[in-house]
Amino acid sequence: MTAGPIVAVPESCLEAADQLLSSVVRGTRGAWPRACAWLLRLALEAAMDDYWWRCHPEVLPMRARSPQFLILDRYAGRSIAARAGYAWSALSRAGHHHCYELGLTAGELRRLREMVATVISDLAAARVGHERGSDDHD
């Protein structure tokens, strides 16, 4: 029997990020902010995959994330797309080590965590076939 691909579940990624944000996790000293950023980004990407699979499966073969975020406003609405794009960009930047920059603080990660949770919820509730609809003026 062949095992299928490992699929991230947004909620489990959020729970793991919450654990890093709320308690000391052994072995993560100094690395927990970046690990938390990667978990949050993974949660957002899993929610995007679920949205595209459910609403517009023709987008799934496009494995690059940037184009998926660029067209999200057309399908899910401008407000969702703006929050999703901002969170993904901030988390992508935070996930990479830059010796000349400070990492994100716990407060910044909590704010991004709430934004990601909202985007996940909004994408789960987004209806199929939404194109340039009511939230176009957000």
The HSE-up count of residue 12 (CA atoms within 13 Å, CB side) is 5
Model confidence band, residue 134 (pLDDT cutoffs 50, 70, 90) = very low
Question: What are the pLDDT digits (tens) for 79-121?
Answer: 999 999 999 999 998 877 666 666 788 899 999 999 999 999 9
In one letter, which amino acid is 18?
D
From CA 137, how far away is CA 39, in angstroms rounded?
Answer: 31
The first and second tokens of residue 28, run together, are 């993560």
Other residues' Cβ atoms within 10 Å of the Cβ of residue 98: 9
Angstrom distance (rounded) from CA 17 to CA 111: 12
Contact 44, 88 (CB under 8 A): yes
| pTM reported for the whole predicted model | 0.81
As a whole-number percent, the residues of the chain with pLDDT over 70 amount to 78
Range 29-57 average pLDDT? 90
The pLDDT of residue 90? 93
Angle of helix 78-95 relative to helix 65-76, nearest 10 degrees?
Answer: 160
